[in-house]
Chain A
Amino acid sequence: MKIRNLLAGTAIGLAFAFGPAAAQADDLTVVSWGGAYTKSQVEAYHKPFIEKTGTNIKSEDYNGGIAEIKAQVEAGNVTWDIVDVELSDAIRACDEGLLETIDHSALPPSPDGTAATEDFIEGTLYDCAVASIVWSTIYAYDTTKITGDAPSTMADFFDLEKFPGKRGLRKGAKVNLEFALIADGVPAKEVYDVLDTEEGVNRAFAKLDTIKDEVIWWEAGAQPPQMLADGEVVMTTAYNGRIFNAVAGEDKPFEIVWDGQVWDLDLWVIPKGAPNKDKAMEFLKFSTATEQLAAQASWISYGPARKSSSPMVGKYHNKDIDMGPQMPTAPKNLENAVQNNFEFWADNADQLNERFNAWLAS
């Protein structure tokens, strides 16, 4: 009797474990960065797409990098259909043959008929990748914790005397080295020239040394707003949309400092051998259309990659906040800004991360 019960239980368990998975075999698996960012995509892309095509979408989260894509493609067991990646990763994965190539002429034109290749901002279309948004790494602080003079420059982030307290930084060399050099007085335009020399790298690490003991390292994009809210840090670097959503959506008293921001692209890529390649392509075309990109901007403060979307960007979806000035690409925010140099990082990421790890462990 007991054994029979056990068997029945196992059978039911198995049915639960595999049943829905089997039913979802032809659902489209869309992989992105989770949290507020995925939510903006769900609202602006997924929901209207499901409504239009009837295709179900399974949304998965990851923390960036091409390791999973590479593992899936090389093992010949691809389960992801379309993935949101950073530019340097898109370039590297494409170079290594891990991605499907994308025909740019298949992308929808803008509402006034401009071809997609003209409508996308320069440097946002690649052989295997189509950009959706411009995002940025900035730093932010809690206005209730810093009451006197407010920090306004990147140098302030590294100034422990003026602004004592813990700092949050992303664990890795990328962006941190740029921030350190800007804080050390290097003009935004020259950051990668300086970083391309041994002295420049030394200089960046020396600057990071000055705050090392006070740093708490984060890895997932959802962490920094949480760390600020918990009072674990007084300032932290973060993705600008995450901070904006904590302010607009959860009324957190956070303030973004745009000085020295490092902006980058997020792009859609389709892993080679994706199970629903055609649907993934449909989804890519749908989500990078002018209206969808503009709609996403009402859910999170990331700039659309199409020129024709910009005039359509309005207010935050449920509040009276103009989204225009919140974008990394707003002229005021671009005054002292760096565009992430994907080529520099594709070349030097391995070596600099090694040095970063050595520095971290010492």
Chain B
Amino acid sequence: MSDTALPNTNIAQPDRPLVTADGIPLKQKLARTTRTMKLRALLLTLPLVFFVFVAFVIPIGQMLHRAVHNPTVSEVAPNFAEAIQDWDADSGELPSEQIFEIFVQDLVTARQNREVGKTVGNLATRINYEIPGSRSLFTSTARKAGRIEQGPYKEALLEIDEDWGDIHLWRTLQRASNNYTLAFMLAAVDMQYDKDGDIVQANELYRIYIPILLKTIGLSALITFLCFLIAYPVSYLLSTLPLRTSNLLMILVLLPFWTSLLVRTSAWIAMLQTEGIINDIMVFLGVIGDDGRIQMIYNQTGTVISMVHILLPFMILPLYSVMKTIPPSYMRAARSMGATQTYAFFRVYFPQTTPGIAAGTLLVFILAIGYYITPALVGGSDGIFISNLIADHIKKTLNWSLGSALAAILLVVVMTLYWLYNRLVGVDKLKFG
């Protein structure tokens, strides 16, 4: 070891970096070591990243894409979809004879095509979403189109059905020929294209999605608030009782939490229905007459009651774990300095529980807004949530584009509310325990 080496490695000299024993600058060596450690840590999270990507990012991306992407027309009638783009819908005249000819040829080809997703039926269903009642126009015309042997095709088609002279129909076909469409997103917010291609609100009698969405948000807020009202005193009690008693009570909170969702919902049906336990007891006690049984289920009341019960543990647990960390001496200190019980509670105790309240309300609200099974079972006709309509479109009407559009709207609403929440409360203040 030379005399000059020591000061070089120990005391920083601006032009000569610190070096490790093997001569590599210390900074580099450190960076290399931490990089390998970071990589190793990253490798450990890879399964999660992969899982989130496959089970979360891709499906949600697909859903968002499907909400605006519907290639039915260009798949069923590819030549027509290209040709119709040249037509000027605002000219007030029907498309040219040539476009009619291509359309008829495409219809005839499509009719022979039995490939799933590329039949005239698919085309008819697609246009029927925007012009209700036009479905049979396509299917019956396709049946007869094979008999058209020569032009003029425009006249032949008009002879089969005069509805083919409707500019609105062709305008819709032109719009739908584009693989990307706003039609389903519009439908999801109760809007539509009118005959002139302008975006307008749907007929009042057919508006359903916005009212149900607002109702979903309103009921979720109500459920969250009720959960908070009930959970706060319970959590306080749990956190102040001696351990032995509070553990026992905690089991009472957790037992329903561990019970299947379906079982709990069915239990509420047995309790609340008109021939159910609660009504029976009230009739027995003479509170109500036998013919005055109260309808407490298959409506909003049923949905709210069962969902408050089901989501309650999600409010109690964060509240409890936060309250558990607040030393009782704080309240005693406040009292000893002359604060009344109420004053001490609101100035000293309550503010310290806000992280728990924030976590609980966020958790319950977001769980509630996407709830599906409970409203479906006990919601009847007016206690349903937006998710029930999404399920309806995925499972029953098979309008997957509209279902996706509704889901996209729900996602946007939840994200917006979360953002608002973050601005108002601050997500960093959340405390789950």
Binding site for B on A (CB under 8 A): 65-67, 70, 73-74, 92, 94-98, 101, 171, 202, 205, 216-217, 230-232, 272, 343, 346-351, 353-355, 357-362
Smallest beta-carbon distance A59→chain B, Å: 22
Smallest beta-carbon distance B176→chain A, Å: 15
Closest to A355 in B: B206
Query: Hey, which chain B residues are within 8 Å of A70, CB to CB?
Result: 398
Query: Hey, which chain A residues are within 8 Å of B124, CB to CB?
Result: 95
Per the bound structure, the CA–CA distance linking A171 and B298 in Å amounts to: 13
Smallest beta-carbon distance A223→chain B, Å: 13
Assess whether A67 is in contact with B398, with CB atoms less than 8 Å apart. Answer: yes
Assess whether B208 is in contact with A361, with CB atoms less than 8 Å apart. Answer: yes
0 or 1 for each of B95-118: is its CB under 8 Å from A? (1 = yes)? 000000000000000000111111
Assess whether B382 is in contact with A360, with CB atoms less than 8 Å apart. Answer: yes
Query: Hey, which chain A residues are within 8 Å of B362, CB to CB?
Result: none
Can you list 14 residue pairs at the A/B interface with Cβ under 8 Å? A67-B394, A67-B395, A67-B396, A73-B116, A95-B122, A346-B136, A347-B132, A357-B208, A357-B392, A358-B205, A358-B206, A358-B207, A359-B205, A361-B215
Per the bound structure, the CA–CA distance linking A97 and B120 in Å amounts to: 9
Assess whether B133 is in contact with A217, with CB atoms less than 8 Å apart. Answer: no
Query: Hey, which chain B residues are within 8 Å of A350, CB to CB?
Result: 128-129, 132, 397, 399
Per the bound structure, the CA–CA distance linking A73 and B121 in Å amounts to: 15
Smallest beta-carbon distance B135→chain A, Å: 5
Per the bound structure, the CA–CA distance linking A86 and B397 in Å amounts to: 15
Tell me whether A358 and B116 are in contact in the complex, defined as CB-CB below 8 angstroms, given that A92-B121, A217-B381 are known contacts.
no
* Of listed B128, B136, B215, B381, residue having the most chain A CB within 10 A: B381
Smallest beta-carbon distance B69→chain A, Å: 16
Tell me whether A232 and B274 are in contact in the complex, defined as CB-CB below 8 angstroms, given that A95-B121, A354-B206 are known contacts.
yes
Per the bound structure, the CA–CA distance linking A348 and B113 in Å amounts to: 25
Partner of A361, one of B121, B211, B298: B211
Assess whether B121 is in contact with A362, with CB atoms less than 8 Å apart. Answer: no
- Beyond A343-B136, A350-B399, A361-B381, 15 extra complex contacts between A and B, CB < 8 Å: A66-B398, A74-B117, A92-B125, A96-B122, A97-B116, A232-B274, A346-B135, A346-B136, A346-B139, A347-B128, A350-B128, A350-B129, A351-B206, A361-B215, A361-B382
Per the bound structure, the CA–CA distance linking A174 and B132 in Å amounts to: 15
Closest to B133 in A: A347
Smallest beta-carbon distance B303→chain A, Å: 12
Tell me whether A65 and B396 are in contact in the complex, defined as CB-CB below 8 angstroms, given that A95-B120, A96-B119, A361-B208 are known contacts.
yes
Per the bound structure, the CA–CA distance linking A353 and B136 in Å amounts to: 18
Query: Hey, which chain A residues are within 8 Å of B398, CB to CB?
Result: 66-67, 70
Query: Hey, which chain B residues are within 8 Å of A272, CB to CB?
Result: 114, 116
8 Å CB interface, B163-216 against A: 205-208, 211-212, 215
Per the bound structure, the CA–CA distance linking A361 and B384 in Å amounts to: 8
Closest to A346 in B: B135
Query: Hey, which chain B residues are within 8 Å of A230, CB to CB?
Result: 275
Assess whether B119 is in contact with A95, with CB atoms less than 8 Å apart. Answer: yes
Binding site for A on B (CB under 8 A): 113-122, 124-125, 128-129, 132-136, 139, 205-208, 211-212, 215, 274-275, 298, 380-382, 384, 389, 392, 394-399
Per the bound structure, the CA–CA distance linking A272 and B139 in Å amounts to: 20
Query: Hey, which chain A residues are within 8 Å of B129, CB to CB?
Result: 350
Per the bound structure, the CA–CA distance linking A231 and B293 in Å amounts to: 13
Smallest beta-carbon distance B216→chain A, Å: 11
Closest to A213 in B: B295
Assess whether A97 is in contact with B119, with CB atoms less than 8 Å apart. Answer: yes
Q: Across the A-B interface, give the 5 residue pairs with the lowest CB-CB distance, nearest first.
A: A95-B121, A351-B132, A358-B208, A96-B121, A360-B381
Query: Hey, which chain A residues are within 8 Å of B114, CB to CB?
Result: 97, 101, 272
Tell me whether A97 and B118 are in contact in the complex, defined as CB-CB below 8 angstroms, given that A347-B134, A351-B206, A361-B381 are known contacts.
yes
Smallest beta-carbon distance B56→chain A, Å: 20
Query: Hey, which chain A residues are within 8 Å of B118, CB to CB?
Result: 97
Closest to B215 in A: A361
Assess whether B121 is in contact with A347, with CB atoms less than 8 Å apart. Answer: no
Smallest beta-carbon distance B401→chain A, Å: 12
Per the bound structure, the CA–CA distance linking A97 and B116 in Å amounts to: 5
* Of listed B117, B118, B384, residue having the most chain A CB within 10 A: B117
Assess whether A217 is in contact with B380, with CB atoms less than 8 Å apart. Answer: yes
Per the bound structure, the CA–CA distance linking A101 and B119 in Å amounts to: 14
Assess whether A348 is in contact with B119, with CB atoms less than 8 Å apart. Answer: no
Smallest beta-carbon distance B52→chain A, Å: 24
Assess whether A347 is in contact with B211, with CB atoms less than 8 Å apart. Answer: no
Closest to A70 in B: B398
Assess whether B397 is in contact with A351, with CB atoms less than 8 Å apart. Answer: no
Partner of A353, one of B122, B134, B211, B397: B397
Query: Hey, which chain A residues are within 8 Å of B397, CB to CB?
Result: 349-350, 353
Partner of B116, one of A98, A217, A357: A98
Partner of A97, one of B117, B275, B382: B117
Closest to A67 in B: B395
Per the bound structure, the CA–CA distance linking A96 and B116 in Å amounts to: 6
Query: Hey, which chain B residues are within 8 Å of A96, CB to CB?
Result: 116-117, 119, 121-122, 125
Closest to B274 in A: A232
Query: Hey, which chain A residues are within 8 Å of B392, CB to CB?
Result: 357
Smallest beta-carbon distance A76→chain B, Å: 9
Per the bound structure, the CA–CA distance linking A151 and B298 in Å amounts to: 27
Smallest beta-carbon distance B280→chain A, Å: 14
Closest to B382 in A: A361
Query: Hey, which chain B residues are within 8 Å of A216, CB to CB?
Result: 298
Query: Hey, which chain B residues are within 8 Å of A94, CB to CB?
Result: 121
Query: Hey, which chain B residues are within 8 Å of A97, CB to CB?
Result: 113-119, 121-122
Smallest beta-carbon distance A345→chain B, Å: 10
Per the bound structure, the CA–CA distance linking A142 and B121 in Å amounts to: 43
Partner of B135, one of A171, A347, A357: A347
Query: Hey, which chain B residues are within 8 Å of A349, CB to CB?
Result: 397
Tell me whether A232 and B275 are in contact in the complex, defined as CB-CB below 8 angstroms, given that A73-B116, A74-B117, A361-B382 are known contacts.
yes
Assess whether B384 is in contact with A348, with CB atoms less than 8 Å apart. Answer: no
Closest to A273 in B: B116
Smallest beta-carbon distance A152→chain B, Å: 26
Query: Hey, which chain A residues are within 8 Å of B136, CB to CB?
Result: 343, 346-347
Smallest beta-carbon distance A358→chain B, Å: 4
Closest to B132 in A: A351
Per the bound structure, the CA–CA distance linking A95 and B121 in Å amounts to: 4
Tell me whether A351 and B133 are in contact in the complex, defined as CB-CB below 8 angstroms, given that A95-B121, A95-B124 are known contacts.
yes
Per the bound structure, the CA–CA distance linking A29 and B119 in Å amounts to: 27
* Of listed B207, B382, B392, B398, residue having the most chain A CB within 10 A: B398
Per the bound structure, the CA–CA distance linking A348 and B397 in Å amounts to: 12
Per the bound structure, the CA–CA distance linking A70 and B119 in Å amounts to: 14
Closest to A64 in B: B396
Query: Hey, which chain A residues are within 8 Å of B135, CB to CB?
Result: 346-347
Query: Hey, which chain A residues are within 8 Å of B274, CB to CB?
Result: 232
Smallest beta-carbon distance B161→chain A, Å: 13
Smallest beta-carbon distance B114→chain A, Å: 5
